[in-house]
Structure 1
Amino acid sequence: MKKVVLAFDSFKGCISAQEACEACAQGVREAWQNAVVVQVPLSDGGEGLVECVRRMLPTRSVAVEVHGPLMDMVEAEYAISADGKTAYMEMAAASGLTLVPPERRNPLKATTYGVGEMIADAVKRGCREIVMGIGGSATCDGGRGMVEALKDCRCLDMDCQVIAACDVNNPLFGKNGAAYVFAPQKGATPEQVETLDGRLRAFAKATEHAGRATPELAFSSGAGAAGGLGYALLAYLNANLHSGIDIMLDIVGFDAAIKDADLVITGEGKSDEQTLMGKVPYGVLKRCRKANIPVWLLSGMIDDATGRLAESFGLVRSINEGDTRPLSVLMQPNVAKQNLKESVSFLVANYHELSMN
């Protein structure tokens, strides 16, 4: 009897990680009716972290009113573990880019104040560990807003361990820093980028003068993540920054899930060179390599001009291969789920032949 583990990320703008796993499971069972199928919907630790945790672990949801990126009040949701000790949250719930309409986006004004309020809320509820995804920010304040909120809430020097899911290695400031690399994506003009970079430098100086950091900390890997929030988490909360997908795989007990598996199937909306830089399929691949388990990559789109994906995975295939319909049709959830199911069913039915190649 075959054991197949399905470990998908969402196909952004199309289907969720859970929907991808369910469609894939239908395909596997069409080919191998008696297969043991284990579904592990995943996130890379950015947006989607809380949803992933909710699906895999017993938690309760919490909603709290906080200040959004432009200081409008928003309702931010996060999850707390069954024992009440760990909070799982995303900075984007309080300070995310999606909370700001395109015409109002302005990283000169956007703040992480609400992130601090969300953390303070969790601490006051008794949480002693916070796992935070720090992707999708609207901000470039270096985490200054978060620090101000924690001060206002009298939670800055709290007894709480913070683990941040971070998949960028940019420093706080400079040409590879938060302002120059990420602020343009948040609506900053070239002149505003220079202003923001200057603010980040000034914040680092103030932090150093306060005895919270050494000058080297601003150049730590991940300090520039989420508009510099990574820096404030390191300096003021002594946080640990880790690969988001590794955090998620540990949370869901992935190593135990793949024990004795014959095959692992993973995928995402589009796979390319970026996939091998900390995305869900690569995190899955690394764990499976250690256990000597073959991994197939099935994604909506495949861009493998360099051939590195084909070299890394046992099989690489687009679920839309041979489907000539327009992208707008292929992106429809029902179409994507059907194509994924049919692709998996065909490939699994030919598993032995593919394995020999």
Structure 2
Amino acid sequence: MARLSYINSILKNPKHVADDIHGVAMSSDNGGYLMEISIGTPPVKQLAFADTGSDLIWTQCSPCHKCFKQESPIFDPKKSSTFKVLSVSKCTYNTSYGDTSYSNGELASETITVGKTSLHKIAYGCGHNNQFTAFSKMSAGIVGLGGGSLSLVGQISNSIDNMFSHCLAFHDFSKPPDKNLTSKISFGKHAVVSGPGVVKIPLVPQYPATFYYIKLISLRVGDTEISASSFFFKDGVNLIVDSGTTLTLLPNHVYYKLEAAVKRQTPDKQVKNSEYKVCYKNRKNFKAPRMTAHFSGGVDLEMAQNATFFAANKDVICLGFVPGGFTGIWGNLLQMDYLIGFDLLNGEVSFKRTDCGLYQGPS
């Protein structure tokens, strides 16, 4: 009878149950992008950072022993008829992030609603002790969109044909978020990126499965070609495509050559800034050198000036790259105003220049 119950639960969730998740709105906040989901039965709306660089789906939960402030009510699992801890003896989780944020609590099975689609028996972290360094009063937690089995993508992979896409609207970080500009995320057949101007970059399989890696062969800054190869990186470096990181981190041997080329080819005089390394006066006629990234598969991706430089405040504009030691991360500044599709079955990620503030999602 237990086996019958298990099989019936699968039959109640047909293969394409998630095919209708498309054009779901996201909003820019504090250097990241917030995605609206609902948790439990009855559904409780929550905003959480959409993060392609992590797996677990979690929000703050009562009782909250240590929690950060959030504007929406904290989710109370006792009021949900579909909340179920994943073990009789309580299955706990403890997850941490590179910026010292963390969450720990109970790992449970719960109904998660995205758009108009309810996804049943999703592994969900009910966080009782949480710290969020990327502080946002709007956020209740994180929606992990990485490649691991516990992410939202991993848990509904068969339902979405292992595909999802997002279009992150441009945001000037020196100003409050424009509430009229919404970003979009879609799953399954609606996530296909096609048409003129699509650039397809191979994904590099690597451990852990969480991260989506693309291989950078070289960077062109104006008239200077910078190889990403070195003694440690024979044929280029792997960069993680991460919606949860704002700036782009380059391995040191690439970054410092990029910095030197930018300084040499930017006529403006540098200004000092306490937070960022290479900054100039923010003026309308500021002209940065053209930058193009060359990836494996013979693919070139030209970067827009408002992505390679960003307004740190109304007076100063700064280079959107920083040294990452041995680590490389393609941050969300360089993802803004691109429709980006992840095709995990065919192992590729597609980029298409799009005005994401106007993009309404697939028809």
Please state which structure has a larger fraction of its residues in strand: 2
Q: What is the TM-score of this pair, normalised by structure 1?
A: 0.26
